[in-house]
Structure 1
Amino acid sequence: MASPSYLSLHYASSIFIVAILHYCMSYCAVGYDAQTVSDSPLLTEKLGINRTIKVDINGNGEFKSVQAAIDSIPEDNSNWVIVHVRKGIYREKVHIPKNKPYIFLRGNGRGKTAIVWSQSSNDNVESATFKAEAHDFIAFGVSFKNEAPTGIAYTSQNQSVAAFVAADKIAFYHCAFYSTHNTLFDYKGRHYYDSCYIQGSIDFIFGRGRTIFHNCEMFVVDDKRVTIRGSITAQNRESEEEMSGFVFHKGKVYGTSGVYLGRAKGPYSRVIFAKTYLSATIVPEGWTNWSYDGSTKNLYHAEYKCHGPGAFTDRRAPWSRRLIEEEVVPFISIDYIDGSNWVPVWI
């Protein structure tokens, strides 16, 4: 008869093997690649970049200002160039103009490299700390922050945009966006956000971009000025033919205050949360048509296999949707933004 110690060792080995098999079945079967990380070296390799402009606030680079480095790039640039922004807080407004595509803005990490300004305005674009208006732009490891103090509710002081994204084929990797009201103006074009952090209170992701947010964190800040609850999204799709909509795939929502997943900004507003962790910050109704008085029949506010204490759908707004796999697949695929043709790395 085998000794008790041998049986214990055999049992422990069996448990370990089963755990390994479970891991492989859970991840490998869905195409998970443990070796794929959307880091800066891989992005640089995929884009084939061999030119770098260094920005260092302490003077150890070619420029001390991010905008000065952008200004040095020729108009109608046709080759990818890295603007490497070393660690530091760069207090300036930065604009990527329409005639300067193929820029890779590379920081030293969103906790180390930050572009910060403080401005509120009755014009969202005017208030923006960072503006990207050129096609084929990529940012990695940078924080964008508008630290304007919270103003009076329902006034122009609410507009304090951290980033205005207004061109086609733009991607952000491991970046962060900080403000309160109207943090990220995802205005138009095909966009991809991977592993980003976005913080705000009311309408803090808005616009009419055709956008995938993959594995992103949305942190809700309490806004005690108003009785209505805030909303993560205010998407403004205006017609059935318009190819726009925000898709949140995986990631998580959490924070300090109750919030809606989104509110209707236009008659065909389209937002989808798929396989996302929703904390108790999500109110039971989930969605709202506050300030929109039109028909709700064409709104496309939807969820698919979300989880967490805020994911229960029993009390959701009556026009919101619970999708099945066949309905959600076209949206969570990189093909939704034609990404296989321009996104350098996706997971």
Structure 2
Amino acid sequence: MADSSSNSLCKPIHIAFAIAFALLISSPIGSYGFTAQNVINSPLLTKKIATNRTIKVDINGNGEFTSIQAAVDAVPEGNSQWMIIHVRKGIYREKVHVPSSKPYVFLRGNGKGRTHIVWSQSSNDNIESATFKVEAKHFIAFGISFKNEAPTGVAYTSQNQSVAAFVAADNVAFYHCGFYSTHNTLFDYKGRHYYDGCYIQGSIDFIFGRGKSVFHNCEIFVIDDKRLTVRGSVTAQNRKSADENSGFVFIRGKVYGIGGVYLGRAKGAFSRVVFAKTYFSMTVLPAGWTNWSYAGGTENLYHSEYDCHGPGAEKGNRAPWAKQLTEKEAAQFMDISFIEGADWLPAWL
């Protein structure tokens, strides 16, 4: 027979938990100092964008569409209210493009290990090779893996671009997504972007472009660079001038994997990349940064680290232009204010 007194003792705990959970999902995450122990999930994002307009995609035919691109095509031109495209679990072998005429799309998957958009193409044109392209403002993706499965053997030839995702719009956010390729995985081309809890895999220049982007609590996994001399870099940020307000900022998260890698290379004269409070495994080479293939000087590069840790974070042999930031110098990069995120993000940590 159940002990009624123990059940009654549990009730206050259950009530307290329910109240705490209700406060969490109803509060504007980011404005109350939430820590990385909290998780931004699909119900929370759905609540924040406040819409009941949903299109279901199911590869097995249990939705309005079996193709993601067909669902995107069904979004009205000039869309001005959030539309959820719920992509159920499965491997969707197609190229997907969200054009600039279709803003306010929330592409909601069932988890990056369950919902996959996959293509296989190498090209000497980054954009042409991309499995996924978004050129529409106000776009959110949650719980989806974007993969370019072009064979590794092709990726080390002159036609080596094999982009998983091309991000070319302002106000774009990815939560708990995965990006998989070998070379040029994530083309973070332009605009303000936020990546939270994402997994990004590659070997050479696998996060590149001129975006102004924050990567919060992301896992960066390095695949071995097959060349005799390691020249692979996590980033190749292409800031053109001191007046251009772009750059990649990595807050927390970790860089690990197989073989060796540089944190970044000098794609442009004013390349700006910041790693803050990030774990580096031994896969990060002692020099940390490289100016390989860049003929200009290094005086304007902003390749920097702040309070990073792990065996790959040793400072003694860093490239001479690499910066170790003070707390005051790092402050401007340490939250979503770098991308004016409070003005457009539905949630952040």
2:346 alignment counterpart: 344
- 2:299 is paired with a residue whose SS is coil
Q: Is the 8 A contact 2:174 2:198 kept in 1?
A: yes
Q: Partners in 1 of 2:37 and 2:290 — Cα distance?
A: 41
Letter in 2 for 1:212: V
Identify which range, 334-343 or 144-153, moves more after superposition: 144-153
- 1:46 is paired with a residue whose SS is helix
Q: Partners in 2 of 1:32 and 1:143 — Cα distance?
A: 26
Letter in 1 for 2:278: T
1:213 alignment counterpart: 215
Q: Is the 8 A contact 2:231 2:292 kept in 1?
A: no
What is the RMSD computed on CA atoms of the aligned residues?
A: 1.3
1:227 CA displacement: 2.1
Letter in 2 for 1:328: A
1:37 CA displacement: 2.2
1:315 CA displacement: 0.4
Letter in 2 for 1:67: Q
1:226 CA displacement: 4.6
Alignment of 1:1-347 (within 5 A): 31-33=33-35, 36-152=38-154, 155-347=157-349
- 1:161 is paired with a residue whose SS is coil
Q: Is the 8 A contact 1:151 1:158 kept in 2?
A: no
Q: Partners in 2 of 1:45 and 1:152 — Cα distance?
A: 43
Identity of aligned residues (%): 73
Letter in 1 for 2:167: V
Q: Partners in 1 of 2:155 and 2:85 — Cα distance?
A: 38
TM-score normalised by length of structure 1: 0.90
Letter in 2 for 1:344: P
- 2:150 is paired with a residue whose SS is coil
User: 4+ residue stretches of structure 1 with deviation over 3 A?
Assistant: 30-36, 151-156
1:153 CA displacement: 6.6
Letter in 2 for 1:110: K
1:50 CA displacement: 1.2
TM-score normalised by length of structure 2: 0.89
- 1:125 is paired with a residue whose SS is helix
2:4 alignment counterpart: none
Q: Which runs of 5+ in 2 are unaligned?
A: 1-31
Q: Is the 8 A contact 1:153 1:225 kept in 2?
A: no
CA pair 185-263 structure 1, distance change in 2 beyond 3 A:
same
1:20 alignment counterpart: none
Q: Is the 8 A contact 1:119 1:160 kept in 2?
A: yes
Aligned residue pair count? 318
Q: Which runs of 5+ in 1 are unaligned?
A: 1-29
2:18 alignment counterpart: none
Q: Partners in 2 of 1:239 and 1:98 — Cα distance?
A: 27
1:32 CA displacement: 3.7
Letter in 2 for 1:275: K
Letter in 1 for 2:67: S
Q: Cα deviation per residue 1:229-253 (whole Å; 9 max; x = unaligned)?
A: 3100000000001010000000000
Q: Partners in 2 of 1:35 and 1:121 — Cα distance?
A: 40
Letter in 2 for 1:250: R
1:333 CA displacement: 1.9
2:5 alignment counterpart: none
- 1:144 is paired with a residue whose SS is strand
Q: Partners in 2 of 1:311 and 1:301 — Cα distance?
A: 14
Q: Cα deviation per residue 1:156-215 (whole Å; 9 max; x = unaligned)?
A: 321000000000000000000000000000000000000000000000000010000000
